[in-house]
Amino acid sequence: MSDVDSLITRLRDLETEALAAVDAAHASDALETVRIEYLGRKEGRISGVLRGLGALGPEERPRVGQEANRVKAALEERLAVAEATLAAAEEAQGAPDLTLPSRMPRLGGIHPVSRAMDEIWSIFRTMGFTRARGPEAETEWYNFEALNTPLDHPAADEQDTLYLEGGGLLRSHTSPVQIRTMLAHEPPIRILAPGWVHRRDTYDATHTPTFLQIEGLVVDEGVTFVDFKATLAEFARRYWGEGTRIRLRPSFFPFTEPSAEVDVKRVVDAPEGPVETDWLEIMGAGMVDPNVLEAAEIDPDRYSGFAFGMGPARIAMLKYGVTDLRTFFESDVRFLSQFGGGR
Ligand code: DAH
C-alpha cells in the first residue's frame, strides 16, 4: 500500500470511529470532548494524520488533504445535528405537555349571606329605598341615647356592648344609621342600611359576636301603620314567594312605638303538595318613636315613620334550612358549594 493509500485508510478509520463516538455521546460536554479529540488543531487525531503529509511528494498531498477535509466536514455536520437534537430535548423537558387533558375551571359562588343581602336589597330598591351607611365605631349617643335608650336601660348595659378606649363603642345594631340619616337629610326618607354590628355574645349555633344587620327606615308625612305592614308583607312575598303571610307580634323596642316582631309563614313544596311552614321570626320593627324623631331634629307632629331591623344570616338560615350559624363563618367549601359555585 502506498503512503497515500495508508493515510487515506487511516482517515476513513478515524471517520468511522469519530462518528460512532458522536452517536454515543448524550450530553453537550461529551460532544465537546469528541470534537477536541478528533478535530482539535494541535492535539486532534485528524491533525495527527496530516502530519504524515510531509513525507509525500507535492503531487500526492492534495488527495490526502481533500480526504481530510471531507472527513472533517462529515464530522462537523454530525456534531451539529447531535447538538441541535440535544438542545431540543432539553427544551422539551421544561415545556408544558399540551396533550394532557385540561383542568375544569373552579367557579366561585356568592356566599349565602351575601346573596340574602343582595336579594333583600334588590327588593327594597324597587320600592324606592336607597342605601345608607354609618360607622361601626359609634358613640353612646348615636347607638343608644338618640334612639330613646337611656344608658341605664338593659339594652345599653356594658354586658352586651363592646366599649372602645376613650368612650366610643362598637355599634350593637345598625339603628344609629337612622339618626345619622335623619340628621343629614330632610324627609321623605326611605333607606336600607346594611352593615356589621358587634356584641359581647358567645359563638354558638345561634349567636356570633359580629354579625350583619340590615336596617330599614321610612319617614314622611302621613306614614301609617298600614304602610308599615303593607311594605313588610310585600317584602316577604317577594323574598319567600307569593303565598307567604306575615304576622306582627306585639313587642318592645325603645326606638319604636308600637313595636312588633315580624313572623313569616311560608308555603313550601312537599311530596304531598304545597304545605305551610310554622311561623318564623324574621325581624324587629315598629313605628318610629316620636322621641327618636325629635332627637334627630325632625318634627314628630308633621312626620311619622316606621323602621325595621333584620339579620341576613338568620334570613339565609331560614331560607336554606341551615341550623348552625357558625357554618356561614367557617369558609368550608363543602358547605358553601351547596349554594352555587364549585365545579
Ligand atoms: N336594632 C334592633 C336590634 O338590633 C333591631 C330593630 C328592631 C331595628 C326594631 C329596628 C326596629 O329599626 O324598628 O335588635
Cα(249) to centroid(ligand 1), Å: 14
Q: Whole-model pTM?
A: 0.70
| Distance separating alpha carbons of residues 308 and 314, to the nearest angstrom | 15
Q: How far is the CA of 285 from the centre of ligand 1 (A)?
A: 6
| Ligand 1 mean position, distance from CA 60 (Å) | 114
Q: How far is CA 24 from CA 18, 78, 82, in A?
A: 10, 12, 10
In this predicted structure, what is the pLDDT of residue 217?
98
What average pLDDT score do residues 281-310 get?
98
CA 307 to ligand 1 center in whole angstroms: 8
pLDDT of residue 341: 59
pLDDT of residue 174: 98
Mean pLDDT of 312-341: 89
Nearest CA to ligand 1 atom 7: 284
The larger pLDDT score, comparing residue 287 to residue 319, is at: 287
Average pLDDT of 254-260? 97
Task: Ligand 1: list residues with CB < 6 Å.
Answer: 173, 175, 215, 253, 256, 284-286, 307-309
Q: Are 286 and 257 in contact (CB under 8 A)?
A: yes
CB-based contacts of 86-92 (< 8 A; 24+ apart in sequence): 86/26, 86/27, 86/28, 86/31
Q: What is the pLDDT of residue 343?
A: 46
Provide the pLDDT for residue 1.
Answer: 59
CA of 261 to the centre of ligand 1 (A): 9
Q: Which of 161, 170, 173 to mutate to test the pocket of ligand 1 (most atoms within 8 A of CB)?
A: 173
Alpha carbon nearest to ligand 1 atom 2, residue: 309
Cα–Cα distance, 268 to 115 (Å, whole number): 20
Which residue of 207, 255, 261, 289 sits with most ligand 1 atoms within 8 Å of its CB, as the best mutation to test the pocket?
255
Give 105 Cα–ligand 1 centroid separation in angstroms.
Answer: 43
Q: Whose CA is nearest to atom 5 of ligand 1?
A: 309
- φ, ψ at 192 (rounded to 5°): -125, 125
Q: Are strands 130-131 and 189-198 parallel, antiparallel or unpaired?
A: parallel
Among the ranges given (85-89, 219-223, 270-274), the one the predictor scored with the smallest mean pLDDT: 85-89
